[in-house]
């Protein structure tokens, strides 16, 4: 066991390395690290809703789309700077997520997964069909991030912006996990009935978890769009949402570190495979299945559900 | 006339969704898992036909037959290799496993067969008939006939055969069924095989009408919609839900715009889950502690 001072020292050392990173890293490495930072904001949302609260969502990419498109469209149509529109889009998306959570209160398990699937489908079709607003299948250029006259567009500037945002987001989530809400999410994953009888407002907790998850996705998606500089509806399909969930499972659903590991896998795997990129999806699926098969109880323990959800054989 | 044409187009489309829903509901009833990779299983069967026909020059009917047999085997492999061993794990693990199966098939097909669509031969030569101003294609007639035949066969199997009764019993109460001597494991295996055969048949009907590309499996979302409309537990409900969805979609495509077809279908899913989760023909589930 490491004591507190040791952890603190490691944390500070890590922060120093991250802060000094751009001084000695290649541009390619900076770009990849920036992507990992923004993706980990997106996946940390999943670690709240799926990892902690035990609800399956396939709509994470759709919430990213809300954040990315929301920020850019508000900026390009109304002329509001991006540093204002990104937080605004994040809050609005969190509210949309909250509403989706409220609407899905009565359903759980499969039905929730199906609702989020359909929601993701509608969002993607909406982007494709509202071509006047969103650019449709062609896409839409992202407005540059200008902060009081200083444009933050270089890889290094975006690196710092994304890193700081990701650290704040992850720090917030890790505090949330240990807060009253975090304990409520944890309880409702293990047994909804038990947590209800202990005074947890299950419905509200679920909706809040969804809202937070959506907000984080929007923030991550918007920051990511600053780096990609172009919005392509292909980035925000149902399949991307499934990929986010998959990397979280590979990274580890139960811990916040899983969000970072998952994000790293999501970003680095295409880069790492290089010429074998065509087989990436296949390798990815095999990896996912392998992890599930080898450690179903490990994973299961982390996301154990109450008896209603287990197969009848297991309960009787 | 408009309405007749909507019915003539909507019913065959709905029958296809109903077939997909049948497979999904079968697996769900038997094993309590919604198979998120079912659409990809359908796509895989269609690709097997193409590979056999184009690369190995096997006659079309034989290719179809082989595809059905291979699909059945594949279903057995999924059950024995993946979902069988996982049956005691939490639901979320099983859902992710089925998602992974779908991902593997889709990306595997994309890697080995390319992302571009393949032309799929029609089962019968395509002709268009005009009846009192309503246009009906042979493809649609085949879809409706085969779907009704399959639904009838399944109905008879579950109502009349001892084996069908055993499956229904095991779905109703696995514990009770095993007490009276039904092997629940064997029933689950049979259900996976049955659903996979259905997937192959659905593939033969759909592939000529839709575009055969690795993403054809997304049609399964329509299957989910149909299943939810029908209540998710009832087999006739799956077909009814499918036809209803086909009609809603075609009407939306006709009166609003074709672009809204899919959106209306997905919105129907969400509305149904929120306001009527028990579906049209399902029973309300009562959660016991």
Of B50, B58, B62, the C-alpha closest to B119 is B50
Are A41 and A97 in contact by the 8 Å Cβ rule? The answer is no
Of B239, B189, B282, B237, the C-alpha closest to B12 is B239
The confidence score (pLDDT) of residue B286 equals 54
Strands, DSSP E only, in chain A?
140-141, 145-147, 150-152, 230-231
Q: Helix axis angle, A60-78 relative to A110-129, nearest 10°?
A: 30
Non-local (6+) Cβ contacts of A155 within 8 A are A22, A27, A30, A31, A34
Between CA A107 and CA A169 the distance in angstroms is 29
Does residue B34 lie within any of the structural domains?
yes
Does residue B262 lie within any of the structural domains?
no
Between CA A244 and CA A51 the distance in angstroms is 13
Q: Do the chains contact at B263 and A279, CB–CB below 8 Å?
A: no
Are B233 and B40 in contact by the 8 Å Cβ rule? The answer is no
The confidence score (pLDDT) of residue A287 equals 82
| Average pLDDT, integer, range A197-221 | 87
Backbone angles phi, psi at A80, to 5 degrees: -80, 135
Of B6, B21, B11, the C-alpha closest to B202 is B21
Does residue B289 lie within any of the structural domains?
no
Indicate the pLDDT class of residue A312, thresholds 50, 70 and 90: very low
| Average pLDDT, integer, range A179-187 | 83
The confidence score (pLDDT) of residue B40 equals 93
Does residue B200 lie within any of the structural domains?
yes
pLDDT at A305 over 70: no
Highest-confidence range of A217-221, A233-237, B166-170, by mean pLDDT?
A217-221
Are B169 and B176 in contact by the 8 Å Cβ rule? The answer is yes
Q: What is the pLDDT of residues A125-138, one digit of tens each?
A: 888 888 778 877 78
Of A151, A130, A125, the C-alpha closest to A140 is A130
Contacts of B89 in chain A (CB under 8 A): 296-297, 299-300
The confidence score (pLDDT) of residue B44 equals 94
Question: A261 vs chain B: nearest CA distance in angstroms?
Answer: 18
Contacts of A284 in chain B (CB under 8 A): 103, 107
Q: Supply the range of the domain harboring residue B104.
A: 3-217
Does residue B40 lie within any of the structural domains?
yes
In the DSSP assignment, the letter for residue B253 is H
Backbone angles phi, psi at A55, to 5 degrees: -100, 140
As a whole number of Å, the CA-based R_g of chain A is: 20
DSSP state string for A230-262: EE-GGGGSHHHHHHHHHHHHHH-SSSTHHHHHH
The confidence score (pLDDT) of residue A309 equals 40
Question: B59 vs chain A: nearest CA distance in angstroms?
Answer: 30
Number of domains in chain B: 1
Mutate to test the interface with A, among B29, B92, B218 (most CBs of A within 10 A): B92
Contacts of A280 in chain B (CB under 8 A): 107
Does residue B37 lie within any of the structural domains?
yes
Report the complex ipTM. 0.85
The confidence score (pLDDT) of residue A298 equals 46
Please state whether the predicted TM-score (pTM) of the whole model is above 0.90: no
Are B105 and B217 in contact by the 8 Å Cβ rule? The answer is yes
Residue of A nearest to B259 (CA): A129
**Count of alpha carbons within 13 Å of A109, Cβ hemisphere only?**
21
pLDDT at A28 over 60: yes
| Average pLDDT, integer, range A144-165 | 83
Are A260 and A47 in contact by the 8 Å Cβ rule? The answer is no
User: Who among B91, B107, B266 is closest to A281 (CB)?
Assistant: B107
Highest-confidence range of A10-24, A190-204, A212-226, by mean pLDDT?
A212-226
A144: helix, strand or coil = coil
Non-local (6+) Cβ contacts of B122 within 8 A are B139, B208
Residue of B nearest to A286 (CA): B104
The confidence score (pLDDT) of residue A302 equals 46
Of A118, A128, A140, A141, the C-alpha closest to A241 is A118
Contacts of A270 in chain B (CB under 8 A): none
Are B27 and B191 in contact by the 8 Å Cβ rule? The answer is yes
Between CA A160 and CA A30 the distance in angstroms is 10
pLDDT at A31 over 60: yes
Mutate to test the interface with A, among B270, B271, B279, B284 (most CBs of A within 10 A): B270
Does residue B134 lie within any of the structural domains?
yes
Between CA B25 and CA B151 the distance in angstroms is 13
Does residue B120 lie within any of the structural domains?
yes
Between CA A268 and CA A276 the distance in angstroms is 13
Total residue length of chain B: 289
Non-local (6+) Cβ contacts of B141 within 8 A are B12
Are B37 and B101 in contact by the 8 Å Cβ rule? The answer is yes
> What is chain A's mean pLDDT, rounded?
81
The confidence score (pLDDT) of residue A63 equals 94
The confidence score (pLDDT) of residue B18 equals 92
User: Who among B104, B221, B262 is closest to A282 (CB)?
Assistant: B104
| Average pLDDT, integer, range A222-235 | 87
Residue of B nearest to A128 (CA): B259
Q: Do the chains contact at A109 and B88, CB–CB below 8 Å?
A: no
For residues B281 and B92, the model is more confident at: B92
Q: What is the pLDDT of residues A100-121, one digit of tens each?
A: 888 776 676 778 888 888 999 9
Between CA B53 and CA B191 the distance in angstroms is 29
The confidence score (pLDDT) of residue A311 equals 41
Between CA B237 and CA B240 the distance in angstroms is 5
């Amino acid at each position: 066991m490491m004591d507190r001072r040791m952890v603190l020292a490691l944390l500070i050392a890590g922060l120093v390395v991250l802060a000094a990173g751009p001084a000695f890293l290649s541009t390619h490495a900076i770009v990849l690290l920036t992507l990992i930072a923004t993706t980990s904001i997106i996946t940390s949302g999943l670690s709240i809703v799926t990892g902690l609260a035990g609800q399956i969502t396939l709509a994470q990419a759709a919430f990213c789309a809300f954040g990315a498109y929301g920020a850019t469209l508000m900026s390009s149509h109304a002329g509001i700077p991006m540093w204002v529109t990104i937080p605004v889009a994040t809050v609005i998306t969190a509210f949309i997520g909250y509403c989706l959570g409220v609407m899905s209160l009565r359903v759980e398990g499969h039905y929730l997964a199906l609702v989020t699937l359909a929601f993701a489908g509608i969002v993607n079709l909406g982007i494709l069909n509202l071509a006047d607003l969103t650019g449709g299948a062609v896409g839409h250029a992202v407005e540059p991030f200008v902060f009081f006259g200083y444009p933050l567009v270089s890889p290094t500037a975006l690196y710092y912006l994304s890193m700081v945002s990701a650290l704040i987001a992850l720090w917030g989530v890790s505090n949330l996990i240990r807060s009253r809400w975090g304990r409520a999410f944890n309880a409702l994953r293990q047994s909804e009935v038990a947590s209800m009888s202990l005074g947890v407002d299950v419905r509200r907790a679920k909706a809040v978890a969804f809202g937070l998850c959506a907000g984080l996705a929007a923030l991550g998606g918007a920051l990511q769009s600053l780096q990609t500089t172009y919005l392509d509806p292909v980035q925000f399909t149902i399949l991307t949402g499934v990929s986010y969930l998959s990397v979280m499972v590979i990274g580890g659903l139960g811990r916040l570190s899983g969000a970072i590991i998952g994000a790293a896998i999501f970003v680095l795997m295409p880069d790492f495979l290089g010429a074998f990129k065509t087989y990436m999806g296949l390798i990815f699926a095999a990896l996912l299945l392998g992890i599930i098969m080898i450690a179903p109880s490990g994973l299961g323990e982390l996301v154990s559900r109450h008896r209603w959800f287990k197969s009848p054989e297991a309960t009787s | 006339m408009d309405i007749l044409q909507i019915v003539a187009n909507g019913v065959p489309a709905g029958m296809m969704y109903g077939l997909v829903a049948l497979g999904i509901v079968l697996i769900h009833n038997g094993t309590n898992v919604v198979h998120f990779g079912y659409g990809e299983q359908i796509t895989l069967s269609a690709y097997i036909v193409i590979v056999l026909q184009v690369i190995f020059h096997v006659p079309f009917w034989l290719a179809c037959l082989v595809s059905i047999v291979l699909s059945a085997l594949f279903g057995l492999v999924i059950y024995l290799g993946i979902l069988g061993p996982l049956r005691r794990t939490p639901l979320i693990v099983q859902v992710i496993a089925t998602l992974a199966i779908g991902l593997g098939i889709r990306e595997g097909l994309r890697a080995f067969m390319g992302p571009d669509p393949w032309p799929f031969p029609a089962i019968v030569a395509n002709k268009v008939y005009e009846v009192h101003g309503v246009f009906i294609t042979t493809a649609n007639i085949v879809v409706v006939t085969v779907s009704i035949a399959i639904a009838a066969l399944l109905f008879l199997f579950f109502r009349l055969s001892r084996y069908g009764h055993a499956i229904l019993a095991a779905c109703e109460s696995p514990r009770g069924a095993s007490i009276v001597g039904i092997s629940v494991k064997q029933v689950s295996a049979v259900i996976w095989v049955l659903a996979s055969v259905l997937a192959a048949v659905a593939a033969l009907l759909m592939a000529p009408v839709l575009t055969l590309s690795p993403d054809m499996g997304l049609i399964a979302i329509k299957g989910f919609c149909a299943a939810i409309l029908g209540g998710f537990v009832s087999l006739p409900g799956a077909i009814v839900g499918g036809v209803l969805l086909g009609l809603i979609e075609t009407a939306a495509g006709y009166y609003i715009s074709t672009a809204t077809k899919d959106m209306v279908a997905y919105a129907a899913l969400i509305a149904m889950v929120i306001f009527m989760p028990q579906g049209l023909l399902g029973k309300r589930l009562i959660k016991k502690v």
